Amino acid sequence: MSDLELQAELGLGARRQGATRRPRRIAVAEGLAGAVALFLVLSAVMPQLVAPGDPLAIDPLQAFQPPSLPHWFGTDESGRDLYTRVVHGTGNSLLIGVLATTIGLGLGVLLGTLAGMLGGFVDFTVNRVLEVLFAFPGLLLALLVILIYGPGVATATIAVGLSTAPGYARIIRAQLVQVRSSAFVEAATVQGLTPRRILARHILPNTLAPLLVLATLGVGQAIVWATALSYLGLGAQPPAAEWGAMLSAGRTYITSAWWMSFFPGLFIVLTAVTATTLGRAIERRMRHA
């Protein structure tokens, strides 16, 4: 099982739990997550609105300032404002997360659909390929990709995308198989609908909806992995305002300037929690829609 399948599974669990009672109104946690998500997206799209400064502007005489009114999150070793850097880093980090998820999900959909729809020999082959890919658990596949193409932002993004693809593929295949054998599709087949119509009318809508949930959960996961690679020195490099790289730079000064690692890390955790909460909320709502 991959992280993603686990996340999806947990989402299903939450659904079953809540199955007896329809969510009446938006829960506090979901509201909070929505607000944070809005803030993050705004930071990513229009960072100047949220933090008007220049994330690369140095001011050596203002180095290592603890959090204060002019510098909410303090300053780093070159006197750069950390709040500005964290906000401007949102774009980079979210972009990496979204791109990696797109790659992973795209490949996953391709493989999963091939296997789920065509069945037979194709299904068998895809399943063997997935089995092989699953033998590189966690970050291993990503590290292998980086070994081949060398470290960097682009490689890290592709690496994370590739290593999440098998998880997506397996979920999608399972979903397709389930829908295809469900009663209403069988009924449609009996009614003599063409396979293409069945696919367009019944199977796709029922399979695509969970994709949104998966993608939401996946972006959070991808950001954590990509920042981990940056932290290990294999992804984004300083002075780029990227959360993992900032955290990695801050670790040098952990004994004298804790804020340099605390705030970038906080944003990573916040993003991951938000993605999980939102993903599950969407899942719940969809089931009851």
Partner 1 sequence: MNTPAPTRRALVAVAALAVAGLVLTGCTAEPDAPATGKPVVGGTLTYASGDAEPDCLDPHVGGNYPQALTGTQFLESLVSRDTTGTIIPWLASEWSESDDGLAWEFTLRDDVYFSDGSPFDAAAVQANIAHLQDPATGSSTGYLALQKVTGTEAVSATVVRLTLAEPDSALLESLSQPWLAMESPEGLARGMEENCAAPVGTGPFVIKDWVKQDAITFVRNDTYDSPPADAGHEGPAYLEKIVWRFIPESASRYAALQAGEVDVIDNAQPDTIVQADKGDSIQHLDAPRPGAANRIELNSGTGPFTDPKVREAFIRSANVDDGVASLFQGTAKRSSSALSSAEALGVSRPKLFEYDPKAAGKLLDSAGWSETDADGYRTRDGKRLTVRFPVSTNQSIPAEQSLFEQIQATAKETGFDVKITPMDLSSWYGALGSGDYDAVSAPYTKVGPDVLRILYHSDGITPAPSGYFANHAQVNDPTLDELLTEAGRESDAGKRKALYTEAQDRILEGFYVLPLYDQQNHYLLGADVEGARALPTVSTPTFYDAWLSR
Partner 2 sequence: MAEPVRRTPALRRLAARLGGAVFVLWAVATLTFFAVRLIPGDPAEAILGGPGSQASAEALASVRAEYGLDQPILVQYLAQLGRLAGGDLGRSYALKLDVGPLVLSQLGGTLVLAGLALALAWLIALALATWSTRGGRIAARVGSGLEIVAASLPHFWLATALIVLFSIWLGVLPPISTPGPAGLVLPVLTLALPLAGFLGQIIREPLLTALESPFVLSALARGESARGVRWNHAIRHAAIPAISLSGWAFGSLISGAVVVETVFARPGLGRTLLNAVTVRDVPVVIGVVMVVAVAYILMTLLTDAATRIADPRTRAR
DSSP state of 139: T
If one asks whether residue 20 binds partner 2 (CB under 8 A), the answer comes out as no
If one asks whether residue 35 binds partner 2 (CB under 8 A), the answer comes out as no
How is residue 145 written in tokens?
């990709």
**Which one, 32 or 58, has the nearer CB to partner 1?**
58
Are 222 and 97 a contacting pair, CB within 8 Å? yes
Are 279 and 34 a contacting pair, CB within 8 Å? no
How is residue 247 written in tokens?
């955290």
* Among 1, 26, 27, 57, contact with partner 1 (rule: CB under 8 A): 57
Residue type, 121: F
If one asks whether residue 27 binds partner 1 (CB under 8 A), the answer comes out as no
Interaction pattern, residues 241-280, with partner 1; x per rule: CB under 8 A: --------x-xxxxxxx-----------------------
Q: Which does 237 bind (CB under 5 to 8 A by kind): partner 1, partner 2, none?
A: partner 1
CA–CA dist 65, 280 (Å, integer): 39
How is residue 165 written in tokens?
């693809």
User: What is the three-class DSSP state of 231?
Assistant: helix
Q: Which does 220 bind (CB under 5 to 8 A by kind): partner 2, partner 1, none?
A: partner 2
CB atoms within 10 A of CB 171: 22
Question: Which residues are CB-contacts of 144 (< 8 A; sequence separation ≥ 6)?
Answer: 136
Residues that bind partner 2 (CB under 8 A): 1-3, 5-6, 9-10, 13, 16-17, 29, 128, 131-132, 134-140, 143-144, 146-148, 150-151, 177-178, 181, 220, 224, 227-228, 231-234, 244, 247, 251, 254-255, 258, 261-262, 265, 268-269, 272-273, 276-277
The residue ranges that bind partner 1 (CB under 8 A) are: 56-58, 60-61, 63-64, 77-79, 233, 237-239, 249, 251-257
